[in-house]
Structure 1
Amino acid sequence: MGQPTPSRLRRFWVVSTILVSLLAYYMYIPLPADISDPWKLMLLDATFRSAQQLSHLIQYVGLSHHLLALNFIIVSFGRKSAWSSTNVQITDTNFDGVEVRVFEGFPKTKEPLKSGVLYIHGGGWALASARISYYDELCSAMAEELNAVIVSVEYRLVPKVHFPEQLYDIDRAARYFLQPEVLEKYSVDPARIAISGDSAGGNLAAALGQEFSKDATLRNKIKLQALIYPVLQALDFNTPSYQQNANSPILPRHVMVRYWIDYLKGNQDFVQAMLVNNHTSSDMEVAATLRARLNWLSLLPKSITKNYRPVMKKVGNSQIIQELPQLLDARSAPLIADQEVLQNLPKTYILTCEHDVLRDDGIMYVKRLESAGVEVTHDHFKDAFHGCMIFTSWPTNFSVGVRTRDSYIKWLKQNL
Structure 2
Amino acid sequence: MIPLLGTLLTVGGLLALGLNLWVLLQHFLTIDVPAAITHPVKFWILSYFFQLSITWGTVLEKLRICSMPGFISFLQSLFKPTKDPKVVVQDLRFGTIPVRLFQPRRACPGLRRGIIFYHGGGAVFGNLDFYHNLCSDLALKTDSVLLLIGYRKLPDHHHPSVSRDCMNASIHFLKALSTYGVDPFRVVACGDSLGGGLAVKITQDLLCMPELPQIRAQVLIYALLQLLNYQLPSHRMNQNVPFLTRNFMMNCLCRYLDIDPSWQDTMLKGGFIAPETWKKYRKWLSSDNIPQKFKNKTQEPEFPSSFNESAHLETICLLDDLVSPLLVDDEVIARLPEAFLVSCENDVLRDDTLLYKKRLEDQGVPVTWYHVEDGFHGCILFCDKKPFSFPCSQTIMDAVVSYIKGI
Alignment size in residue pairs: 386
Please tell me whether residue 99 in structure 1 is matched to residue 98 in structure 2. Answer: yes
Displacement of 1:22 after TM fit? Answer: 8.2
Which protein shows a greater Rg?
1
- Partner of residue 12, structure 2: none
- Partner of residue 154, structure 1: 150
- The one-letter code sitting in structure 2 at the alignment partner of 1:56 is T
CA deviation map 1:177-234 (0-9, x unaligned) = 111xx2222111111111111001111111111111233334x521111111000111
> Mapping of 1:246-265 within 5 angstroms?
246-265=239-258
- Partner of residue 336, structure 1: 327
Structure-2 separation of matches of 1:96 and 1:23: 42
- The one-letter code sitting in structure 1 at the alignment partner of 2:263 is F
> Mapping of 1:296-311 within 5 angstroms?
296-297=287-288, 299-307=289-297, 308-311=299-302
Q: 1:316 aligns with which of 287, 307, 310?
A: 307
In structure 1, stretches of 5+ residues that fail to align are 1-19
Structure-2 separation of matches of 1:260 and 1:292: 24
- Partner of residue 121, structure 1: 119
- Partner of residue 78, structure 1: 79
CA, structure 1 residues 54+25, in 2 after alignment: closer, same or farther (shift >3 Å)? closer
Matched residue SS, 1:222: coil
Q: 1:412 aligns with which of 399, 404, 407?
A: 404
Structure-2 separation of matches of 1:201 and 1:313: 27
Per mean C-alpha deviation after superposition, the further-off stretch among 243-252 and 25-34 is: 25-34
Structure-1 separation of matches of 2:294 and 2:159: 31
Displacement of 1:305 after TM fit? Answer: 2.9
CA, structure 1 residues 114+89, in 2 after alignment: closer, same or farther (shift >3 Å)? same
Q: 1:397 aligns with which of 389, 396, 400?
A: 389
Structure-1 separation of matches of 2:308 and 2:68: 27
Please tell me whether residue 225 in structure 1 is matched to residue 218 in structure 2. Answer: yes
Q: 1:42 aligns with which of 41, 44, 52?
A: 44
Matched residue SS, 2:152: coil
- Partner of residue 364, structure 1: 355
Query: Which stretches of structure 1, 4 residues or longer, exceed 6 Å deviation after superposition?
Result: 20-24
Check the 8 A contact 1:125/1:201 in 2, yes or no.
no
Per mean C-alpha deviation after superposition, the further-off stretch among 170-179 and 255-264 is: 255-264
Structure-2 separation of matches of 1:197 and 1:243: 24
Please tell me whether residue 293 in structure 1 is matched to residue 284 in structure 2. Answer: yes
Check the 8 A contact 1:87/1:105 in 2, yes or no.
yes
TM-score, structure 1 length as denominator?
0.87
TM-score, structure 2 length as denominator?
0.89
In structure 2, stretches of 5+ residues that fail to align are 1-19
- Partner of residue 9, structure 1: none
Check the 8 A contact 1:106/1:147 in 2, yes or no.
no
CA, structure 1 residues 23+55, in 2 after alignment: closer, same or farther (shift >3 Å)? closer
- Partner of residue 145, structure 1: 141
- The one-letter code sitting in structure 1 at the alignment partner of 2:179 is K
- Partner of residue 176, structure 1: 172
Structure-1 separation of matches of 2:198 and 2:143: 25
- Partner of residue 234, structure 1: 227
Displacement of 1:37 after TM fit? Answer: 1.7
- Partner of residue 13, structure 2: none
Please tell me whether residue 243 in structure 1 is matched to residue 231 in structure 2. Answer: no
Displacement of 1:287 after TM fit? Answer: 4.5
Check the 8 A contact 1:27/1:43 in 2, yes or no.
no
Displacement of 1:161 after TM fit? Answer: 1.8
Q: 2:184 aligns with which of 164, 184, 190?
A: 190
Structure-1 separation of matches of 2:230 and 2:177: 41
- Partner of residue 56, structure 2: 54
Structure-1 separation of matches of 2:378 and 2:94: 27
Structure-2 separation of matches of 1:95 and 1:22: 45
- Partner of residue 268, structure 1: 261
Q: CA RMSD in A?
A: 2.2
